[in-house]
Amino acid sequence: MRRWGFDHFALFAPFYDRLFAFRHPARLREFLALPARGRLLDAGGGTGRVAQALHGLAGQIVVIDLSAAMLRQAARKEGLASARAQAEQLPFPDASFERILLVDAFHHLGDQRQAAAELWRVLATGGRLVIEEPNVETIPIKLVALAERLALMRSRFYAPRDIRCMFEALGARAEVHTSHPVNVWVVVEK
């Protein structure tokens, strides 16, 4: 499990939103089946750039991340609650979120299987979890994975079917959607 170590993202936090635009809001809303009345968790949500685009589409939106610098940016955005936490040890009760999302974050988690179990635990019955992840089965993302390794980021990319299988092993219904050239969505239902 990843500990509170060097924060690679602190370097980019002040201008992260300008560098990395959120490109697929309509697709994510569709996969999350928004709007929803309950709470939405943006795990690994960093600056809240994605969560902010979903403001008003869920009862409450909570952003968690390990990077304190990224969360300071999220705290400046209207309508978002934030907490410094790791997805492998969520500080929330069972079944406390109707919707959960991870956008470009799953490969950064220290222990993806433990995180999957925790995300499943806090997902309410009838809830939906969506993971948007770079598709490591494509050449451009293989190069990104190599670059992140060279930057000592300890990222671990999984093939889409392997992410799906992690959740199916927990009892989930899961589907993989790969209509984008380099992104993949794993949609999990409880």
pLDDT in tens, 139-186: 888 888 888 888 777 789 999 999 999 999 999 999 999 877 889 999
Instruction: For residues 95 and 188, give the distance between their C-alpha atoms in angstroms, rounded to a whole number.
Output: 14
Residue 21 pLDDT exceeds 80: no
The DSSP symbol for 158 reads: -
Which residues on neighbouring strands pair with residue 4, listed in sequence order? Answer: none
Note the pLDDT tens digit of each residue in 96-136.
999 999 999 999 899 999 999 999 999 999 999 999 999 99
The pLDDT score that the predictor gives to residue 161 is: 96
Note the pLDDT tens digit of each residue in 28-76.
999 999 999 999 999 999 889 999 999 999 999 999 998 888 898 899 9
The pLDDT score that the predictor gives to residue 123 is: 98
Residue 17 pLDDT exceeds 70: no
How many residues would you count in the chain? 190
> Which CATH number is correct for 19-189, 3.60.20.10, 3.40.50.150, 3.30.2080.10, 3.20.10.10?
3.40.50.150
Q: Residue 53 has which token pair?
A: 């685009």
State pTM to two decimals.
0.88
Identity of the residue numbered 184? V
Q: Residue 133 has which token pair?
A: 């992840």
Residue 13 pLDDT exceeds 60: no
Instruction: For residues 138 and 189, give the distance between their C-alpha atoms in angstroms, rounded to a whole number.
Output: 26
The pLDDT score that the predictor gives to residue 176 is: 97
From the list 71, 109, 103, 68, the residue with the least C-alpha distance to 90 is 109
The pLDDT score that the predictor gives to residue 1 is: 36
From the list 155, 109, 73, the residue with the least C-alpha distance to 119 is 109
The pLDDT score that the predictor gives to residue 2 is: 44
Domain residue ranges in the chain: 19-189
The pLDDT score that the predictor gives to residue 24 is: 75
